[in-house]
Amino acid sequence: MSAGISETGENQSQPLEEEHLSLKHFFEQAHTIVTSDAGAPRWLSPLECGQPLHGSPLLLFLPGIDGTGLGLIMHHQRLGKIFEVSCLHIPPEDRTPYTELVKLVERRILSEHHRSPNRPIYLVGESLGACLGLSVASLNPNIDLVLVLANPATSFSKSPLQTILPLLQLMPDLLPNLGLPHIVSSITGELIADLEKRVGRLSQDLTSSLSYLSVLADILPVETLLWKLKMINTASSHANLRLHAVKAQTVILSSGRDRLLPSQEEGLRLRKLLENCEIRTFGDCSHFLFLEEAFDLVTVLKKVGAYRRSKERDFVLDYTLPSPSELKDVCDNYRWMKIMMSPVMLSTLEDGKIVKGLAGFPSDGPVVYVGNHMLLGLDVFPMVAQLAEQKGIYMRGIAHPVMFMKWNKGKLPDLPFSDDFELMGAVPVSGKNFFKLLSTKSHILLYPGGIREALHRKGEAYKLFWPEQSEFVRMAARFGAKIVPFGTVGEDDFGDVFFDYDDQIKIPFLKKFINEISDEAGKLRTTVDGEIGNQDVHLPGVQLKSPGRLYYYFGRPIETEGRKEELRDRKTAHEFYSQVKSEVVKCIAYLQKRRESDPCRSLVSRLLFQARHGFTSEVPTFDLD
């Protein structure tokens, strides 16, 4: 038994030190486990996972053709912080039929469901294991399962592996000592060649007795390979016949360079057939997705919004802060906006002094940042990213439900940046979520104008569309939250609306489409009359211009501490609300006036400055009073 795993039920302990496990560790542990292995399939608990948070969901890993159960080895440490992890191990000499493996997994989930009926069970499977997960889910539609399937072998009928089956059946005795790489290279010349390339550079670091070729030969001797290929064929048929019965929330992970299976095509097929399915494609990854250094399973689950600890997802309590690498990736995604638009950030100290940078931001929550939405809401990205990078403050944006419709199969398109919204902690707009964010002392980003402000009409730049009644004041006061009014300008420097809602609604087919997608997304403020209540979802036509500059001005924090009883009064609360709105208007007006004296407002002037001083240098702006 490997030092890195224990059979379920034994005491576990954290590793002595954190380390980044790699492909080399997979081969080392696989060598240990298969050379001293015997017995029936069983569940193993990776020691690297340690002890998860209380109430964490169970994650069962269902392996692919290798059967080792070590396929998530590069993810154990991160998974172990938010999941209770258990991995199915199938010894090389085992010949348990596929249907019996289905029963084995089913017994485990039935037992776990009986023990914790309100806790979801995650089935993470690759290839063969993905079929196993689908089969089990089809037989247990009333159990709360979440399927995470990497390159499912449901497409086995279209795989080049099919050509291996008859050859191995005809001459298994002629190839007794040839491991999988030799068989594959002699028959197809391509299968798992990408894996060989990736691990080839590691061979000099492994001892001769622990080379990757010999380990693969131990994992999959010819007889085992033949048995596994037959099993995959059976598994594919079994799972495909039962897809209609799968009700579980499903995430399909498809590799773009899978030489064993047509995984991209299969992912699209499964998304159409499964009623609650989301797909993500990784174009540069091979069949062995979980062993790719660039792939992070925890990050993917967070981005698609698939992590939860109970039957219903809690956007506040189930959230975990981005890791340093996750934050870097998000910031890199929008680095172009920082380079092209050189955002100017101004904040206000407690004494009222305006300063460049973020020194005026309150460090302790709860804090509610209340401001104006610019066109399409593009101003959100550099603001949230810069605050997280420089101050370690994560603004939890309260957003329209359309941003979270990842499992949708209607007419709404997938939003390309919604994954980053999820990762950075955005939540759907609701009083319940606002309450929870305040109770957890969060930094909350609030746009009272909603999408009516973000999707404004021609000539409405910087116009506020706030409801008459205060929607946040009394609840913020209940928790003594600071209110930070802010204004943002700059959208008119990089685009003009030329085809707005008023134009589109006059065209019958566009009007019908807008109504359909608005109903699908869910309308807000339906009881509010006039333009404030018009929250229809549409995409305005925008004529782009040479990128201008973004300006942000965060006003002086307004205290609600000690004013809970005072602000219970509706009139007093409305006066406070009007004060916040007035401060936002003042921030916008200040920026509109002062940017006129910015020597680097134009793109050309900024590029010239950056050419002289470097693209990482801070571009100057107007002088402060």
pLDDT category of residue 191 using cuts at 50, 70 and 90: very low
Domain region containing 573: 333-492+547-613
The model's pLDDT over 469-499, given as tens digits with 9 standing for 90+, comes to 887 999 999 999 999 999 999 988 888 899 9
Q: Is 149's pLDDT higher than 80? A: yes
* SS3 of residue 173 by DSSP: helix
Residue 310 lies in a domain: no
**For residue 392, how many C-alpha atoms fall within 13 Å in the half-sphere facing its CB?**
4
| The pair of three-digit structure tokens given for residue 345, joined into one six-digit string | 């950030």
Share of the chain above pLDDT 70, in %: 84
Beta-bridge partners for 122: 59, 146
Q: Is 192's pLDDT higher than 50? A: no
Domain match, 598 and 469 both: yes
Domain match, 343 and 436 both: yes
Q: Output the average pLDDT for the chain.
A: 85
pLDDT category of residue 177 using cuts at 50, 70 and 90: very low
CA–CA distances in Å: residue 417 to residues 404, 406, 542: 11, 11, 19
Domain match, 363 and 248 both: no
Average pLDDT value for residue range 538-556: 90
Domain match, 140 and 261 both: yes
pLDDT category of residue 52 using cuts at 50, 70 and 90: confident
The model's pLDDT over 576-615, given as tens digits with 9 standing for 90+, comes to 999 999 999 999 999 999 999 999 999 899 989 988 988 7
pLDDT in the model for residue 39: 82
Domain match, 46 and 194 both: yes
CATH number, domain of 133, equals 3.40.50.1820
Residue 344 lies in a domain: yes
Q: Is 189's pLDDT higher than 60? A: no
pLDDT in the model for residue 43: 95
| The pair of three-digit structure tokens given for residue 511, joined into one six-digit string | 């009007």
Report the domain count for the chain. 2
Residue 321 lies in a domain: no
Domain match, 298 and 360 both: no
Domain match, 201 and 126 both: yes
Residue 509 lies in a domain: no
* Of 249, 241, 281, 239, nearest in space to 263 by CA: 281
Q: Is 449's pLDDT higher than 50? A: yes
Domain match, 240 and 345 both: no
Q: Is 405's pLDDT higher than 80? A: no
- CA 121, CA 161: separation in Å to the nearest integer? 31
| The pair of three-digit structure tokens given for residue 187, joined into one six-digit string | 């028959």
Domain match, 202 and 62 both: yes
* Centroid of chain to Cα 355: 35
| The pair of three-digit structure tokens given for residue 529, joined into one six-digit string | 């009359």
| The pair of three-digit structure tokens given for residue 254, joined into one six-digit string | 């498809």
Domain match, 342 and 289 both: no
Residue 461 lies in a domain: yes
The region that residue 243 occupies, defined by phi over 0 for left and psi between -120 and 50 for alpha, beta otherwise, is alpha
Residue 311 lies in a domain: no
Q: Is the peptide bond prior to 181 cis by the omega test (within 30 degrees of 0)?
A: no
Domain match, 551 and 602 both: yes
Of 91-105, 262-276, 289-303, 325-339, which range is least confident? 325-339
**How many distinct helices (H) and strands (E) make up the chain?**
22, 18
CATH number, domain of 433, equals 3.40.1130
Domain match, 338 and 298 both: no
Residue 608 lies in a domain: yes
| The pair of three-digit structure tokens given for residue 600, joined into one six-digit string | 């680097």
pLDDT category of residue 225 using cuts at 50, 70 and 90: confident
Residue 474 lies in a domain: yes
The model's pLDDT over 9-47, given as tens digits with 9 standing for 90+, comes to 333 333 333 455 667 778 778 878 877 667 899 999 888
Average pLDDT value for residue range 150-163: 88
Share of the chain above pLDDT 90, in %: 57
